[in-house]
Chain A
Amino acid sequence: MTAHALEGGFTEASVQSARAFREILEAMARPGTIRKIAGAQPPAPLSIAAGVALLVLADPTTRLHLAGDADCPVVRDWVAFHTGAPLASAEDADFALGTWSALHPVSRFRIGQPDYPDRSATLIVECDRLAPHGPCLTGPGIETAAWLNLPETAAFRANRALFPLGFDTLFTAGDRIAGLPRSTRVEAI
């Protein structure tokens, strides 16, 4: 473990995680809205938002899958020190972190069980940027319609078809975060 792995966490965990959770809650409850979260300085290639999301949500009771470039020794050390989340394969993960192409195929992630749909994975998808245009989103949390530059639509349409099963997604870019729960209907426009 490098000394760098010890740095970049919350300096005031209870307050910073509360503020960040509130933003994540708003992002997940209002799909398509882009929120700003801060407080952590994770090592590259993780974005600030992805690092903060891990600090807020992951702990020794949640299995984490690191995909693609995110699965490197620096990130593994940082995650181990700051969250204690055990690393797992994609099929077993509660949280999965990586770029959209690294997470593919997303059909391998847990979608919950018919009697326990909450036992499903949450994907944290690293993006270059988030913008409020692109595929059209409708469903719970959205008054009329919202738009978000999703990396693709087919996978999210297939995921919505599984409802109430399915995975939930957080998109991160820099210090920005957006949410896409399984309940959202996605249409390419």
Chain B
Amino acid sequence: MTDQAYNFAYLDEQTKRMIRRAILKGIAVPGYQVPFASREMPMPYGWGTGGVQVTAACLVPGDRLKVIDQGADDTTNAVSIRRFFQRTAGVGVTEATAEATVIQTRHRIPETPLAEGQILVYQVPIPEPLRFLEPRETETRKMHELEEYGLMHVKLYEDIARHGQIATSYAYPVKVEGRYVMDPSPIPRFDNPKLSGNPAIQLFGAGREQRIYALPPWTEAVSLDFEDHPFHATKAPHDCDLCGAKHSYLDEVITDDTGGRMFVCSDTDFCAGRRAKGHVGRLGEAA
């Protein structure tokens, strides 16, 4: 039940109105980072305060909330945020991607395709894709204004010069609808193709950096690349050792001190769903 000491979904109404206005402007200008007056939340910066505020502004009582941390439903960050909204908003929770109406995520897009009516909320640490190339906010803002993204291509080119390929493996920049270059949060570049043309609403919240941005449904988000070095979504060249999935993003788990290791789906709901259907991987046990 909702804790009576708190307003619905924790935040006060004035704060939610401010966040909601920022979300709508973000939707209207896809990929542009809208400044907002981020609040102190009952968790430290870096633990998803931006995502939590966006989720709080979007939740309605009938929602079923799913929270994932690197694809997993059962890690500390995911469990505590899920419990936070159970307590302050009284919403239902689920681990099944298809059943969720709102999904807050840290650094993954679920393997199960999203649908209309779902909202995917990303926790974002550094929303500015140009920040590590140009530390001054005044300058990066000017670069977005002038569509001056040459520096980002130089960075990707330096990857090729040094490593023979684009080595950026996460937080891989995308260009949204041919206008703004956007940081998709530190999702693996394996997930980048799912950003584009997604039927769900995708909202990005950066609490410490006080920015909200958005991808409306069916919005084009193109991963930056070169004609002779086209973008590739990459993953570990293995199958999941538990469910045998060939095309899911994998975590590498060290199992002993003699070099033993296993690869498992990072998306725990996807992996569990496959195992329940009888799929078995190299190290899995038949159900």
Q: A residues within 8 Å of B by Cβ? A: 13-15, 17-19, 21-22, 24-26, 28-30, 56-59, 61-62, 114-118, 120, 122, 139-143, 163-164, 168, 181-183
- For residue A17, which residue of chain B has the nearest CB? B13
Quick one: closest B residue to A24, CB to CB? B24
Known: A29-B201, A117-B29, A118-B29. A143 touches B60 (CB 8 A): no
Q: Does B17 contact A (CB under 8 A)?
A: yes
Interface contacts beyond A57-B20, A58-B17: sample of 19 additional A-B pairs, CB < 8 Å, sorted by A: A14-B7, A14-B9, A15-B8, A18-B60, A25-B201, A28-B27, A30-B216, A56-B17, A61-B18, A117-B32, A118-B26, A140-B219, A141-B219, A142-B218, A143-B217, A143-B218, A163-B179, A181-B28, A183-B30
Question: Do A21 and B58 have beta carbons less than 8 Å apart?
Answer: yes
Closest to A114 in B: B145
Q: Which residue of A lies closest to B20 (CB)?
A: A21
- The binding surface of chain A is classed by DSSP as mixed
The smallest C-beta distance from B11 to any residue of chain A, in angstroms, reads 9
Give Cα distance in the complex from A139 to B141, angstroms. Answer: 25
Q: Are B142 and A115 closer than 8 Å at their CB atoms?
A: yes
| CB–CB B13/A25 < 8 A | no
Residue of B nearest to A30 (CB): B217
User: Lowest 5 CB-CB distances: which A-B pairs, in order?
Assistant: A181-B28, A14-B8, A141-B216, A118-B25, A140-B219
Residues of B within 8 A of A24 (CB): 20, 24
Which B residues, 49 to 69, have Cβ-Cβ distances below 8 Å to chain A?
57-61
Give chain A residues whose Cβ lies under 8 Å from the Cβ of B18. 59, 61
- Does the CB pair B180–A164 fall under 8 Å? yes
> CB-defined interface of B1-39 with A at 8 Å, one 1/0 digit per residue?
000000111000110111011111111111010110000
Q: A30-B216, A115-B141, A163-B179 are in contact. Are A183 and B58 (CB under 8 A)?
A: no
Contact B60 A19 (CB under 8 A): yes
- 30 CB-based A-B contacts, threshold 8 Å: A14-B16, A17-B17, A18-B60, A21-B16, A21-B58, A22-B60, A25-B58, A28-B28, A29-B217, A58-B17, A59-B17, A115-B142, A115-B144, A116-B35, A117-B29, A118-B22, A118-B29, A118-B32, A118-B35, A122-B24, A140-B218, A141-B27, A141-B217, A141-B219, A164-B32, A168-B24, A181-B28, A182-B28, A183-B28, A183-B216
